[in-house]
Chain A
C-alpha cells in the first residue's frame, strides 16, 4: 500500500491546499499503512516545505502545466511508478480538474470533497458533506484503487516529520489542448481569496446599498479577513459574483464567519454552516441566522459595525 498526493507549487513551495493534502495523507497513512509520496510539477525549492508535514518522497516534474489532460497523465504515471492505491488531491480549482480524470484513468472510485480521514474497517470508507452541508455521507469505495479529494480547510495543517527526499520525475505528458491566455487576479490589493480565507466578514441586503460596504471592508482588513456576500447582493450587482457564498455560490469553511445584515436563509446557511464559529449581527432578533450562530448581536449594523471595528483595533493594539 502506498499513498500518492498531488500538490501544486507556487514560487517553489507547496500551496496551503497542497500542505493540507500532505497532512491528510500522513494521517491517512496511519490508518492505511504505507509511505506518503507527493507528485508536483514546476520549479521546486528544497522539498517545497512538504517534508515537515509528512511527505516521505517528493517526485518533481520540472515542466509546469495546468492542462487537465497533462496533469492526469503525470499523476497516473506517478501512481503507476509508486504502486500507489490511494491518490489524494485537494478539492480546489485544480483538484476539480484533475481528480475525476485520474479516477477514470486508474479505474478508481472517487470520493469528492472528503471532510475526514478514511477508515479502513469493513472496507475503505470516507465521510463527505452532501445536500450542500445539510448532511454528511459515509462513502464506501469498493475498487482496488481510490481517489480522495479533500474539502479545503476541513482538515487543517498538521506538522509531522517525513523524510522529504526529492527526486526528479518525468512522464510523457502529451500536448496541452487548453491554452492559457490570461490570468486576472481577483484582487490586486493583496486581499485574501475567499475560498482560502480563515476569517470571513460577509454582508447582505441589510446593508441597503453598495456605498455602505466601506465599513465591511475596513473591518475585514483590520481582522485580516476576506469579504463575502449573500446572493441577492451579488445578483443586484452591489458586489462581485465571486463573493457570493451559499448553496449556489461558494461553499466555505473558515474558522470565523461574521454575517452582517444577512437573514440566514437555508440556501445561504448551506454554504457557510461548516464554519467553525459564526457571529451574526442583525437588527431582527427573529432572523433565522441566530439559530445557526455561536455569537449574536441584535442591533443596527450601521451602529454596531463601527463600534466593533474600534474594538478590534484596540484589541490589535494591545
Chain B
C-alpha cells in the first residue's frame, strides 16, 4: 500500500500569539514549531499502522522551506519511510493543495491522508482541494479507517452522528481524533530517521487566490463577576437578566 501523508509545520500549542510588521506577520520569535497535531497523531500514525499491517510504504509531503526539515525528521522518526519537501514558501491553502496535487498526480498513491485542519490557519480545506485537483473521492473528519482488500471502510463525523462509508481506492481523507493513538518516537526511530531520504523537489508554478492582509487579537474579556458558592440562584439571575443567555 502506497500512502502519502501531508505534514505541516505549526507553532506549539502553548505559543504566545503575537504579530509584527504592522500586524501583517506572525511573530516567530521564541516560537517552537511542531508537526501539526492532527497530521501527526492521527493521519501519520494511522498510515504507519496500515503499512505495518499490509506492507507498502508511507511517504510524507510538506510544502515549505528548509526550516520545515526538523519537523519532517520527526515524522520519519515516528515511522514514515521517506519524505518529500516541495521547495516553495508556504502560501495560501489553495497553492499548498495545488503543489501537493501536482506532485502526487502520477505517483500512484493508494491514499492521501491529511489532518482535519492545521492549528494555525484552521482552514481544513487542503485535503478537499487536493481531491478535486486529482478527481478523487474525499472523506473529511474521518475517525476510523480500515482496509478490506482494496476497499476502505471509513467512519466520519457528520451533524448529529457518525456516518460509515465505503470507498474504493485511491481516495483523499482528512483525519480527526479517534483515528489512531499518538506515538512517541524512540531512540531507534530517531537514529533511523537520519538516514531516511528527504527528497527536495522544485515548486510547481501555481497561483495564490488569497492572502492574509492583517491579523488582530480578540478583544480582551472584562473582569470575571464572582458569585458566592452558596448562592447559585444569583448566578441564574445574572445569566438571565444581565447576560440574557437563559
B232 A93 Cβ-Cβ under 8 A:
no
- Please tell me which one of the listed residues A103, A234, A255, A311 contacts residue B125 in the complex, with CB atoms under 8 A apart: A103
Interface size class of B (residues with CB under 8 A): 35 or more
- Please tell me which one of the listed residues A184, A195, A311 contacts residue B162 in the complex, with CB atoms under 8 A apart: A184
Q: CA of A62 to CA of B168 in the docked complex: distance in angstroms?
A: 27
Q: CA of A96 to CA of B243 in the docked complex: distance in angstroms?
A: 32
CB distance from A276 to the nearest CB of B (A): 7
Interface string of B149-182 (1 = CB under 8 A from A): 0000100111111111111100100100110000
Q: With an 8 A cutoff between CB atoms, is B138 at the interface?
A: yes
- Please tell me which one of the listed residues A97, A199, A311 contacts residue B235 in the complex, with CB atoms under 8 A apart: A311
A294 B222 Cβ-Cβ under 8 A:
yes
CB distance from B112 to the nearest CB of A (A): 13
Q: With an 8 A cutoff between CB atoms, is A291 at the interface?
A: yes
Q: CA of A104 to CA of B96 in the docked complex: distance in angstroms?
A: 12
Q: A109-B209, A295-B239 are in contact. Are A137 and B214 (CB under 8 A)?
A: yes
Q: CA of A315 to CA of B160 in the docked complex: distance in angstroms?
A: 29
Tally inter-chain residue pairs, CB-CB below 8 A.
279
Q: CA of A178 to CA of B170 in the docked complex: distance in angstroms?
A: 11
Q: With an 8 A cutoff between CB atoms, is A314 at the interface?
A: yes
A93 B157 Cβ-Cβ under 8 A:
yes
- Stretch from A24-32, A78-86, A124-132, A204-212 that touches the partner: A124-132
- Please tell me which one of the listed residues B177, B224, B240 contacts residue A244 in the complex, with CB atoms under 8 A apart: B177
A97 B140 Cβ-Cβ under 8 A:
yes
CB-CB under 8 A from B157, the residues of chain A are 93, 242
Q: A96-B140, A99-B125, A304-B229 are in contact. Are A111 and B210 (CB under 8 A)?
A: yes
Q: With an 8 A cutoff between CB atoms, is A139 at the interface?
A: yes
CB-CB under 8 A from B232, the residues of chain A are 297, 304, 307-308, 310-311
Interface string of A129-142 (1 = CB under 8 A from B): 11111111111111
Q: A93-B159, A109-B92 are in contact. Are A100 and B129 (CB under 8 A)?
A: yes
CB-CB under 8 A from A101, the residues of chain B are 128-129, 131-132, 138
CB-CB under 8 A from A303, the residues of chain B are 229
Of all chain A residues, the one with the shortest Cβ separation from B131 is A101
B167 A179 Cβ-Cβ under 8 A:
yes
CB-CB under 8 A from B228, the residues of chain A are 297
Q: CA of A151 to CA of B131 in the docked complex: distance in angstroms?
A: 22
Q: With an 8 A cutoff between CB atoms, is B107 at the interface?
A: no
**Interface set, chain B 111-129, CB cutoff 8 A to A:** 119-129
- Stretch from B10-18, B55-63, B71-79, B187-195 that touches the partner: B10-18
CB-CB under 8 A from A135, the residues of chain B are 17, 19, 215-218
Q: CA of A94 to CA of B160 in the docked complex: distance in angstroms?
A: 12
Q: With an 8 A cutoff between CB atoms, is B93 at the interface?
A: yes
Q: With an 8 A cutoff between CB atoms, is A69 at the interface?
A: yes
A104 B97 Cβ-Cβ under 8 A:
yes
Q: With an 8 A cutoff between CB atoms, is B184 at the interface?
A: no
Q: With an 8 A cutoff between CB atoms, is B227 at the interface?
A: yes
Of all chain B residues, the one with the shortest Cβ separation from A244 is B177
Of all chain B residues, the one with the shortest Cβ separation from A275 is B245
Q: With an 8 A cutoff between CB atoms, is A110 at the interface?
A: yes
A241 B159 Cβ-Cβ under 8 A:
no
Q: With an 8 A cutoff between CB atoms, is A193 at the interface?
A: yes
Q: CA of A299 to CA of B141 in the docked complex: distance in angstroms?
A: 38
Q: With an 8 A cutoff between CB atoms, is B37 at the interface?
A: yes
Interface string of B27-63 (1 = CB under 8 A from A): 0000000000110010000000000000000000000
Q: CA of A123 to CA of B132 in the docked complex: distance in angstroms?
A: 27
CB-CB under 8 A from B225, the residues of chain A are 294-296
Q: A109-B92, A130-B215, A134-B17 are in contact. Are A256 and B245 (CB under 8 A)?
A: yes
Q: With an 8 A cutoff between CB atoms, is B201 at the interface?
A: no
CB-CB under 8 A from B137, the residues of chain A are 67-69, 177-178
Q: With an 8 A cutoff between CB atoms, is A277 at the interface?
A: yes
CB distance from A308 to the nearest CB of B (A): 4
Q: A113-B123, A247-B119 are in contact. Are A311 and B128 (CB under 8 A)?
A: no
Q: With an 8 A cutoff between CB atoms, is A267 at the interface?
A: yes
Of all chain B residues, the one with the shortest Cβ separation from A141 is B210
B166 A93 Cβ-Cβ under 8 A:
no
CB-CB under 8 A from B222, the residues of chain A are 294
B159 A183 Cβ-Cβ under 8 A:
no
CB distance from A68 to the nearest CB of B (A): 5
- Tell me the B residues contacting A by CB distance below 8 Å: 11, 13-15, 17, 19, 37-38, 41, 92-94, 97, 119-129, 131-133, 135, 137-141, 143, 153, 156-168, 171, 174, 177-178, 208-218, 221-222, 224-230, 232-233, 235-240, 243, 245-246
15 contacts between A and B (CB under 8 A): A93-B156, A93-B159, A99-B128, A109-B92, A130-B122, A140-B210, A142-B211, A178-B139, A180-B165, A199-B245, A270-B119, A280-B224, A293-B224, A295-B227, A296-B226
